């Protein structure tokens, strides 16, 4: 999975360059960057959801698999819909979910089973949690790119840091395994959202114009 990191860096560079090259105005650039980030996360959500669902129906399969899939699919749909139509309400809820996911990763790594527990049976659950929150944040970024970008950074990086520290794995294996696969795409979207926020800030500063000279 670590070999995908350069490819994701290239993906970020391409998406950012295309979004900014097509428009000169900062407002249009910011909108294009938000759409690029959200579109990237939607694609990741579809492909990741199909992969998780396929793995679940392979093992354990049957009604248990259906229940497990609904267990993450329904919250994902609800949070994505809230982020799309009610971003003001979704933002604090997603912030709470980010804290819960990170706390679960910490507990898995240093909980009752001792350091390194995140790499065993709990790792897939942590990866699904990161996946669900990241995709929902992809919708929030259309309206609140700065908040979504910062939360995506925390969701993508902190669980991986906990895994590396807890397992003692080399840094080059930081994004290996299911948790790395769920975390890496969020870094691309986080960068696009934060860049979009920067462009919107440039717009506000530019349109404000120079301050008038003080009276003599």
pLDDT in tens, the chain (216 residues): 445 556 666 777 787 777 777 777 888 888 889 999 999 999 999 999 999 988 888 877 788 888 989 999 999 999 999 999 999 999 999 999 999 999 988 887 775 454 444 445 666 888 899 999 999 999 999 999 999 999 999 999 888 888 777 666 665 566 667 787 888 889 889 999 999 999 888 755 545 545 454 444
CA atoms in the 13 A half-sphere facing the CB of 112: 1
Provide the pLDDT for residue 167. 66
List the one residue out of 29, 36, 17 whose CA is nearest residue 199. 29
Provide the pLDDT for residue 114. 46
Alpha helices in the chain (DSSP H): 4-21, 26-58, 62-85, 87-110, 123-140, 145-167, 177-208
Provide the pLDDT for residue 19. 75
3-state class (DSSP) for residue 198: helix
Provide the pLDDT for residue 138. 95
Residue with tokens 């990241």: 134
Provide the pLDDT for residue 23. 74
State the DSSP code for 155. H
Q: Where are the domains of the chain?
A: 44-204
Provide the pLDDT for residue 204. 54
pTM summary value: 0.83
Cβ(163)–Cβ(216) below 8 Å: no
Q: Measure the CA–CA gap between 42 and 68, rounded to whole angstroms.
A: 21
Q: Measure the CA–CA gap between 124 and 47, rounded to whole angstroms.
A: 16
List the structure tokens of 96. Answer: 């709470």
List the one residue out of 163, 192, 166, 189 whose CA is nearest residue 2. 163
Q: Measure the CA–CA gap between 167 and 135, rounded to whole angstroms.
A: 27
Provide the pLDDT for residue 175. 64
């Amino acid at each position: 999975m670590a070999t995908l990191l350069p490819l994701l860096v290239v993906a970020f560079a391409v998406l950012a360059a295309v979004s900014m090259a097509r428009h000169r105005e900062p407002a249009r650039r910011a909108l294009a960057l938000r759409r690029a980030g959200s579109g990237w996360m939607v694609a990741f959500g579809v492909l990741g959801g199909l992969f998780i669902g396929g793995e679940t129906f392979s093992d354990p399969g049957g009604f248990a698999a259906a229940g497990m899939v609904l267990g993450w699919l329904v919250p994902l749909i609800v949070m994505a819909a809230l982020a799309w139509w009610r971003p003001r309400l979704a933002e604090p809820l997603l912030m709470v979910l980010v804290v819960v996911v990170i706390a679960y990763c910490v507990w898995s790594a240093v909980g009752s089973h001792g350091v390194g527990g995140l790499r065993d049976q709990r790792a897939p659950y942590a990866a699904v949690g990161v996946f669900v929150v990241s995709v929902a944040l992809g919708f929030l970024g259309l309206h609140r790119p700065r908040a979504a970008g910062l939360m995506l950074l925390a969701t993508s990086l902190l669980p991986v840091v906990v895994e590396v520290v807890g397992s003692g794995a080399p840094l080059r294996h930081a994004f290996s395994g299911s948790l790395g696969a769920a975390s890496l795409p969020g870094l691309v979207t986080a960068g696009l959202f934060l860049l979009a926020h920067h462009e919107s800030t440039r717009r506000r500063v530019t349109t404000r114009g120079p301050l008038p000279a003080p009276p003599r």
